[in-house]
Amino acid sequence: MQSALFSVINAVPYAMALALGLLLPALGVLCYSHLGAGMAVIAGMYAIEALWMQVGGVELGITVYYTDFALLFIGVIALLRLLTARDTPRWHWAWGLYVLAFLISLGTGVVSSGSGAGVQARAYFYSIAAGSYAVSFPVDAARVRQLVNLMFWLVVLLLGICVYRWIVYYTPIPDLLPPEGNYNADGAIRVVRSHEALVMGQVFIVGLLFAPLGRVASAARFIAPLTLGGVLALQHRSVWLAVLVGVLAGLFVARSRSGSKTGQILLLAGIVAITALPLTLSSQLSGVSDQVASSADRAVEGDGTVGERLDNWQGLIRLWAAGGPRSLALGQSFGSDSTRYVRDTIHGGEHKIGYFAHNHYVQTLYNLGLAGLFAFMSLTWYAARGLYRRCASEEGDLVASVLLTLLLMQLAYYVPYGTDYLQSVLLALCVAYVAGHERVARAAASTARPAGRTGLRWTGS
């Protein structure tokens, strides 16, 4: 019996290796053929990061995280689709320029700075891999709903994480706390990170303004008070800004229907009231409402991190501008020294920092130069303009309204924060959705004239 058990234990690693060798190619084929499968892999990695705050990895000279493997897998599938898939839409030229600027900055950075360049480029690599994968598929309303469905279930998970971690910290239950004693050094109540709270805000907007999108959107409306309460309690002011932009944008792009905007405003007021009453009337939650009010006051007055971030952006722009023509055009290579000084609002004077810009546009300008920033802005302009035209058309387009609203929230969030791979999937779907409708319009128009010469696989207008 013992010898049999010993044999089984010894066989487990080989069985796992065999299973991995079979499952990984099967997953690759599935992701190659179905956008939903790849988005599920991306959302699954996102969920794992939310659960563990910091995903583990392996040491290969530098720490290679499990997220690196997942997004490298997705990136390889994207490259294979670009080269071989027959249903791959034409890439917008701006996406190609954006990827090229990234590769140049990464390549020169690896030559000059070694592995440090790869560490700095990690967030951009994640976003480009995920976005390139999503933009390699033709996108219709059903695939947009798949993304919304995944975002909804991520929010359900995030709400559960918030409740669990708040109970553990504020009860407190020391045995369940992380070794550091809290879940976030920036504030004990911030038990999930800003980019995760943004997804909560986006799903809140979908439920508030776009419930007719489908059953999941209706479910998002049902949990909207909980979602809004979570967004407020987490006190990520960048997400508050994005939600405000989402409300205004959603009301603006909503198709004109008698009483529709009034009804949405009344619904928003009701959700806010349901959310605010427990915070106001409960003695246990009064401390949370005080913290929210204090955080809002600091944001308006420019205190705390707001003033430091302005100095941060200015310092990084000065470093970029001082780098010469190459820096102006293509940016400072990943891995380059970005040390700068900002005001110390607590102790006075200045202190040295070297972290990212906390602004996607400034960071893109610094690392990818005018070429990269121009490419990104051109891409978002193409998507936003195309979506707005769909919204403003006579027949209207609910899916385009959802995408445009979520895209504008993303662009507002990028002012105080950097890029994120789930948001890159959203941007890619916006681009692919617009490109698909333009392709249909061109096909309809071409029936009235002879077919022209076949061009390159790039598009853009």
Q: Are strands 458-459 and 350-353 parallel, antiparallel or unpaired?
A: unpaired
Tokens of 402: 């959802």
The whole-number pLDDT of residue 257 equals 42
CB contact set of 338 (below 8 Å; sequence gap of 6+): 316, 319, 332, 354, 366
* Backbone dihedral region for residue 114 (phi beyond 0: left; psi -120 to 50: alpha; all else: beta): left
The whole-number pLDDT of residue 314 equals 82
The whole-number pLDDT of residue 284 equals 45
**CA-to-CA distance for 183 and 189, rounded, in angstroms?**
8
What is the value of pTM for the model shown? Answer: 0.85
Ranges of each domain in the chain? 137-445
The whole-number pLDDT of residue 114 equals 84
The whole-number pLDDT of residue 44 equals 95
Strands (E), 334-459: 340-343, 350-353, 458-459
CA 79 to chain CA mean position, Å:
21
The whole-number pLDDT of residue 347 equals 57
Tally of CB atoms within 10 A around 354: 8
**CA-to-CA distance for 33 and 48, rounded, in angstroms?**
24
The whole-number pLDDT of residue 31 equals 95
**CA-to-CA distance for 341 and 178, rounded, in angstroms?**
32
Measured at the CA of 410, the angle between CA 407 and CA 416, to 5 degrees, comes to: 155
CA distances from 3 to 6, 8, 9, 10 (A): 5, 9, 10, 10
Strands (E), 86-217: 91-92
The whole-number pLDDT of residue 54 equals 72
**CA-to-CA distance for 217 and 210, rounded, in angstroms?**
7
DSSP of 291-342, one letter per residue? HHHHHHHHHHHTTTHHHHHHHHHHHHHHHHHTT-HHHHHH-SPTT----EEE
3-state SS, residue 38: helix
The whole-number pLDDT of residue 116 equals 82
Contact predicate 215/443, CB 8 Å = no
Q: Tokens 């990170």 map to which residue?
A: 193
Tokens of 351: 């202190």
Measured at the CA of 404, the angle between CA 194 and CA 409, to 5 degrees, comes to: 20
**CA-to-CA distance for 214 and 206, rounded, in angstroms?**
10
Closest alpha carbon to 431 in 452, 415, 410, 448:
410
* Backbone dihedral region for residue 235 (phi beyond 0: left; psi -120 to 50: alpha; all else: beta): left
Strands (E), 354-444: none
Q: Are strands 458-459 and 91-92 parallel, antiparallel or unpaired?
A: parallel
**CA-to-CA distance for 311 and 2, rounded, in angstroms?**
67
Tally of CB atoms within 10 A around 185: 9
Residue ranges in the chain whose pLDDT is less than 70: 1-21, 60-62, 254-308, 340-355, 448-461
